[in-house]
Amino acid sequence: MAKVTVVGAGNVGATCAHSLLRLKLADVVLIDIDEGLTKGKALDLSQAGVIEGFTDKITGGSDYRASADSDVVVVTAGLPRRPGMSREELLDKNARIICEVIQRSLDTSPEATIIVLTNPLDLMAYLAYRVSGLDAQRVIGMGGVLDTARFKRFIASEVGVNPADVEAMVIGAHSDSMVPLASLAKVDGKALTSLISPDARVFQKERTKGGGAEIVSHLKQGSAFYAPGAAAAHMVGAILLGDKRITPASVFAGGAYGIDGLYIGLPVTLDLSGVLEIVELQLSPVEQEALLSSAKEIEAGLTALGRWFS
């Protein structure tokens, strides 16, 4: 039986743990500085298993020794941006958290593949890679699966079909500069460009970019957690099952798509070794330009991270 540790027992972490158990992918360890929170949620989830029919083990605590020999470590720990907090303050606080979590996780699970959800995601994934000492293929950021789910949902609603009938993908930064690939999107095998107007396509792309903010505007307090948690579990499944499905994820580009030296959302295949391959898709000229622009945005943020790994 595989073993997955989820660090951070907030809404996203707990939802990820629940999704993993429902998918019957692995035994799960929930780690958080608030030990009571993890123990309570682990006990609650174990009781849900009686009703929902999952039998994999879940435990909770604050001691990383319980996570020893995990195959995958999912990092959801981190602070959201609060009113009055600058982006620089958020980055600094979450960088500190990432450095500690990565070090403590690898002390007990040195062979694990790391999935990072902490924001700003592409920068935190890069930081995790630099401080971990791992090969880049074993450190992955979760962003594209979530953004793609939103894009598919909005397309399906526009066209009036089941999201399962939609083929679509979002790449680029996990931010407002993400790149929904409308040129490659299909509905029941038909090109999206033949089904809805250019204005409708632009609207769906822009709604996707603001998908997280739209949820926050309704909630008033807090942010999305069901879809992010499910997206992280989906990535764990792609790794553990090794079915080589194409999955958008924040990875070290290494020259792909004309981008190097940073983490950014690209289509990849995953297996137990982490990133198996970056898949080169045929983008439209506009999409390629947008992807490069998105990379420049990420690159501009790398300077602020320098003191954490220099």
Tell me the per-residue pLDDT of 269-285, one tens digit each, with 9 for 90 and over.
999 999 999 999 999 99
pLDDT reported for residue 17: 98
What's the predicted TM-score (pTM) here?
0.96
Picking from 242, 7, 249, the residue whose alpha carbon sits closest to that of residue 106 is: 7
Q: Which amino acid is at 158?
A: E
Q: Which residues pair with 135 in a beta bridge?
A: none
Q: Which of 18, 174, 218, 234 is catalytic?
A: 174
Contacts of 147 (CB under 8 A, 6+ apart): 170, 174, 178, 180, 208, 211, 248, 265
Confidence band of 85 (pLDDT split at 50, 70, 90): low
Measure the CA–CA gap between 172 and 266, rounded to whole angstroms: 6
Q: Tell me the CATH architecture of domain 144-308.
A: Alpha-Beta Complex (3.90)
Q: What is the pLDDT of residue 307?
A: 84
Please state whether the peptide bond connecting residue 285 to the residue before it is cis, i.e. omega within 30 degrees of 0. no
Catalytic, 234? Answer: no
pLDDT of amino acid 83: 65
> With contact defined as beta carbons under 8 Å apart, do 190 and 196 qualify?
no
Q: From residue 309, give the alpha-carbon distance in Å to each of 22, 157, 266.
A: 38, 44, 24
Tell me: domain 3-141, CATH 3.40.50.720, correct? yes
Is pLDDT above 80 for 81?
no
At residue 304 the predicted structure's pLDDT band, cuts being 50, 70 and 90, is confident
The tens digit of pLDDT for each residue in 130-165 reads 999 999 999 999 999 999 999 999 999 999 999 999
Is the pLDDT at 87 greater than 80, yes or no?
A: no
pLDDT in tens, 252-264: 999 999 999 999 9
| Domain range list for the chain | 3-141, 144-308
pLDDT mean over 184-188: 97
Lowest mean pLDDT among 45-49, 79-83, 124-128, 247-251: 79-83
